[in-house]
A and B are shown apart, each in its own frame.
Chain A
């Protein structure tokens, strides 16, 4: 098979765009490990024996609670995701499996949240959290993120549950298995492939969010990593080593996870889009 010149042009275009997409991120990563002098003298060069340093990282760890912020983000994201998947699957199951009065109405009611951003209710959410004494707690963030993630999760999981063959549950019903056990032992294990898709749409926005941490949990060591980096860089703008190191620390975990799981994420995204 000969390569047509048109194909080469296509690859050149795609490669150029890929460089444009990755270049800025790589630039930050390589300069985070260089001395201040080298950052300015040779920004495009890789760190070598002479220019390599981890001074930026030392300063970040000495002057901020990065480990704690990371743990906060991890807790909020994982707990939110588990709750969204579990509660969302229960609701999706009820809405797709049973015919009952108000089914369509409840479905529509839940769909409102897909289009209307919950952020616009922030004034009342903050008031409510103050009354519940939940300001500066991770619980406040988790509650809001679960409410925010549920509508889309229910839509995705509902479509997935519909594709599960009916035979299994009907057989279980004939054996007198309760509806709760049918859900718990048959449906829940079967939806695990859909979790990847739900994760793309709920985990990433939660991990990256700045708005709600800024409003609901800006202090008391409850900052998430996104807010922590934002506050840290605000204080150390002129310390290029520290700024580059903090950006690298924020990017690295997402980068590693993405490259590990990108196949599932990208597949989930394109599969979800087909509907």
Chain B
């Protein structure tokens, strides 16, 4: 769609490019491109650049190539923490994939049942925790699970499970699982909504046809609905992956920057924060922080690329 008015008013000095880029398009695009480039893309590239430098006490920086990454992956002072954070992050992600997306799928299936009364009320209420700040949610659960208040043990006792209670957030063996489940509890609404929308898009004819052919509810789910919502499950998975490998707020609110007990809830986000700003006796290092951020960027990019080229291409999109 060419625009005659704009290109005709273009003066000679406004057309330095050979193809005479229309001024009004540039005006529409410029604010977004400038802000986005300056405060999003440039910092990402600058972080990658910084990760190749080392700074000393005077603030002088010198180019050290991949030295920081070598330190991060092999130096005993760093690699243990890095791999611990990576492993915890992986567990954090897997718990979300199985529990959060599993429950989300289940709720979406129930909510998409035809002629369900009160469906929108359930959806609105179940989605509510997702709208609240992760920090607030963290504190709320910390209070509820606090043995001092005793509300969690007395509720468990009421259903006959009193013996199961322990200081879950304080024990090394259960802290990561507990924190993950708190996050799952908060964000179940997102997969629920996305999958619900996808299920609604499946035409009734397809399901009716399968039912007429003698398929039971289980076969309809497994052979008709599930394959049709696979692209949405792919989107949900990659959203979960990016959000989880970028998480920070919940752990920081509940366990502080040290991600205790004994780093058992440390994930890459908290590790990045400690490296960048320092903690206790260790001084923060912008360049090592940049190296950790770059490592996280690589991990996230690998995930996104696996999704784009490995998963999304194989999943046929159906349009009705």
Q: Which residues of A contact B (CB under 8 A)?
A: 10-11, 13-14, 17-18, 20-22, 24-25, 27-28, 39-40, 43-44, 87-88, 90-91, 93-95, 97-101, 106, 109-110, 112-113, 115-128, 143-144, 146-148, 150-151, 154, 173, 176, 178-180, 183, 204, 207-211, 214, 226, 229-230, 233, 240, 243-244, 247, 250-251, 254-255, 258-259, 262-263, 265-266, 269-271, 273-274
Contact = CB atoms under 8 A, between A and B. Distances in A.
B124 A116 contact: no
Nearest to A210: B249
Contacts of B188: 21
B40 A21 contact: no
B59 to A, nearest CB: 11
Contacts of A93: 28
B135 A210 contact: yes
A269 B193 CA distance: 7
Nearest to A91: B32
A24 B144 contact: yes
A98 B1 contact: yes
For A40, A98, A243, the residue with the greatest tally of chain B CB atoms inside 10 Å of its CB is A98
B44 A91 contact: no
B43 A25 contact: no
A-B pairs, top 9 by smallest CB distance, nearest first, are A121-B43, A147-B39, A91-B32, A94-B28, A208-B133, A124-B46, A124-B43, A270-B197, A273-B197
Given A122-B293, A270-B200, A106 B133 contact: no
A210 B149 contact: no
Contacts of A113: 36, 40-41
Contacts of B32: 87-88, 90-91, 110, 150, 154
Interface in B120-166: 120, 122-129, 131-136, 139-141, 143-144, 149-151, 154
A148 B40 contact: yes
B155 to A, nearest CB: 8
B120 to A, nearest CB: 7
Given A207-B133, A266-B124, 9 more contacts: A43-B151, A44-B151, A113-B36, A150-B40, A176-B5, A179-B3, A240-B149, A255-B132, A269-B194
Nearest to B29: A94
B230 interface: no
B45 to A, nearest CB: 8
Contacts of A18: 122, 125-126
Contacts of A244: 143
Contacts of B124: 259, 262-263, 266
B11 interface: no
B123 A22 contact: no
A269 to B, nearest CB: 5
Nearest to A3: B117
A115 B22 contact: no
Given A121-B46, A124-B43, A27 B144 contact: yes
A146 B35 contact: yes
A267 B180 CA distance: 28
Contacts of A211: 248-249
B132 A274 contact: no
Contact of B40 (A88, A99, A121, A154): A121
Contacts of B38: 143, 147
Contacts of A25: 128-129, 132, 140
Nearest to A183: B28
Given A25-B129, A106-B33, A120-B246, A125 B1 contact: no
A230 B28 contact: no
Contacts of B133: 207-208, 210, 226, 229, 250, 254
B50 A124 contact: yes
Nearest to B151: A43
Interface in B228-272: 232, 238, 242, 246, 248-249, 252-253, 269
Contacts of B40: 113, 118, 121, 147-148, 150
Contacts of A143: 35, 38-39
Interface in B15-38: 19, 21-22, 24-25, 27-29, 31-33, 35-36, 38
